[in-house]
Structure 1
Amino acid sequence: MIGCARKLSRLFDARSGRTVLVPLDHGVGEGMLPGLEDFPKLIGMIRDFPVQGVVLNKGALWACLPEIPAGIQVAAQLSGGTRHAVPPYSRSLVCSVHEALRLGADLVVTQVNIANDLEDRMLGDLGAVCDEAHGLGIPVLAVIQPKGDRIVNEMDPSLICHCIRLGAELGADMVGVPYSGDARSFSRACAGSFAPVVVTGG
């Protein structure tokens, strides 16, 4: 796990202890979103901001890696699914850890949506990714959120706290969750997590 720890430390600013990862992986799920048409331009813009990493799907990683500044960590998104799927919250592994490493990734990302009929498969994928990645010395960021027909409020603080604990318990090196809006419970869940927590954007 020494290799994982070294790579993980590069994701955090030495002075603030915080991290900013730019997610450019929405094209698989949402299609041609306005603003995501010109990847070389977007990668060039990253140079002008104090960010620690960028999240890319494997095709974009293969095409854009030469343009990414050396100090920016590259995260390969392993999960995929479109908004046209039934159900739309389904996520499947579309890239392996080995392929991500071959393409030049510094860490891998996998998505899990809980509280639905596909939860068991996505949790199994997370466990398998953690095993494979840690065997190769690469950190895992698990992006976990409540998504399903039975959920009344996706930002329910208790559900978000469960997502944080779930990621840490299953071996992720970092856990990404939406901010619940409840500072007290969110802070308590972060403090009780043995994996760093990052807030995901919409």
Structure 2
Amino acid sequence: MQAGKDLRLERILNASSGKTILVPMDHGASLGPIPGLISPHKAVDSVARGGADAVLMHKGLVRSAYAGHARDLALIIHLSASTDLSTRPNAKRLVATVEEAVKMGADAVSVHVNLGDETESTMLADLGQVAYAAQEWGMPLLAMVYGRGPKISNSMAPSVVAHCARVGEELGADIVKVPYTGDIDSFARVCQGCSIPVVIAGGPKMDTRDDILRMAHDSVAAGGAGLSLGRNVFQDPDPASLVNALGAIVHQGQGLERARTMLAA
């Protein structure tokens, strides 16, 4: 099934740059219908126009938000979930399977793991189980791995993020998503310790578009393989234009000034 996995990865990782711009839209399960995702199909349309490589969502949104709206946009089905209404929001559980994702025509699947949480062992077992099934079906696997637990005082500490990235690789992911550590040198060490593509999470909404552009630029300069930005994209006043400018940085190697000019046009 390796040929199938390679073909699917080609829809996610840009052929010319080897990098990707993913837009996760799985927030509704954990946070509810937040701004930017009140009408998910509109968000999908917008990022597709901007040239995003893939969107990520739970299985229930595929029919209403993706099918018929996505144009040339890869689909990643997120397999794990929790809600912020829970007393244990960091305890992710599997809510879908690789087989379901295959039936829906997905190009990849993703699993969320929070290292340091009391339920870490269950989440690691789930990741291992999904990695096996994904290999059997030729389905690429994105692992979202974060350090969140009572022993972790700083989830963005370079040593913690490097450990998160390495866990994703060690347990069979094809791409790993981790927080950005805040500067080029420290994130370069994260990327050096992981031989699969490393993409950065966007996290909470940033103050300005320029902050987003700089984070994208610096993470790629450090050796990152692209972006997985949710709220910082779909909550933007013009997601299509922002994704287009980010594409100039990630896929074309353009500098910050060029990307700023594109947004100002």
Q: What TM-score do you get using the length of structure 1 for normalisation?
A: 0.95
Q: Kindly report structure 1 stretches of 4+ aligned residues shifted beyond 6 Å.
A: none
1:189 maps to 2:157: no
Correspondences of 1:38-57 after superposition (within 5 Å): 38-57=39-58
Determine if contact 2:174/2:197 at 8 Å carries over to the other structure. Answer: yes
Aligned-pair CA distance for 1:70: 4.0
1:164 partnered with 2:165: yes
Distance 1:21 1:132 in 2: 23
Gaps of 5+ in 2: 204-265
Query: Could you tell me which residue of structure 2 aligns to residue 95 of structure 1?
Result: 96
Q: Which amino acid aligns with 1:146?
A: G
- Conservation of the 8 A alpha-carbon contact between 1:108 and 1:141: yes
Give 1:52 shift: 0.4
Q: Deviations over 1:49-77 (max 9, x none)?
A: 12100001110013233224342110000
**Structure 1 residue 84 corresponds to structure 2 residue 64:** no
The one-letter code matched in structure 2 to 1:26 is: H
Counterpart of 2:129 in structure 1 is 128
Task: Give the number of the structure whose alpha-carbon radius of gyration is greater.
Answer: 2
- Secondary structure of the residue that 1:8 maps to in structure 2? helix
- Shift of the alpha carbon at 1:128? 0.2
Greater mean deviation of Cα atoms: 53-62 or 68-77: 68-77
Q: Which residue number in structure 1 is paired with residue 181 of structure 2?
A: 180
Backbone CA RMSD of aligned residues = 1.3
Q: Is the 8 A contact 1:114 1:148 kept in 2?
A: yes
Alignment of structure 1 residues 30-41 onto 2, 5 Å: 30-41=31-42
In structure 2, the CA distance between the partners of 1:70 and 1:32, relative to structure 1 (3 Å rule), is closer
Determine what percentage of the aligned residue pairs are the same residue. Answer: 39
Structure 1 unaligned spans of 5+: none
| C-alpha distance in 2 between matches for 1:114 and 1:192 | 17
- The equivalent residue for 2:217 is none
Q: Distance in 2 between matches of 1:34 and 1:131?
A: 36
1:119 lines up with 2:120 in the alignment:
yes
8 Å contact kept, 1:43–1:67: no
The aligned residue for residue 17 of structure 1 is 18
Bigger drift between 185-194 and 149-158 goes to 185-194
Which residue is equivalent to 2:142? 141
Task: Provide Cα deviations, 1:4-30, integer angstroms capped at 9, x if missing partner.
Answer: 122112212222222100111100001
Greater RCO (Cα-Cα under 8 Å, separation 6 or more)? 2
1:67 counterpart letter in structure 2: G
Describe the shift of the 1:192–1:151 C-alpha distance in structure 2 as closer, same or farther (beyond 3 A): closer
TM-score, normalised relative to structure 2: 0.73
Three-state SS of the structure 1 residue aligned to 2:20 is coil
Between structures 1 and 2, the one with greater helix share: 2
Corresponding residue number in structure 2 for 1:199:
200
Q: 3-state SS of the aligned residue for 2:12?
A: coil
Query: What is the rounded CA distance, in whole Å, between the counterparts of 1:107 and 1:156 in structure 2?
Result: 29
Q: Between Structure 1 and Structure 2, how many residues are aligned?
A: 202
1:64 alignment partner AA: A
The aligned runs of 1:101-112 (5 Å cut-off) are 101-112=102-113
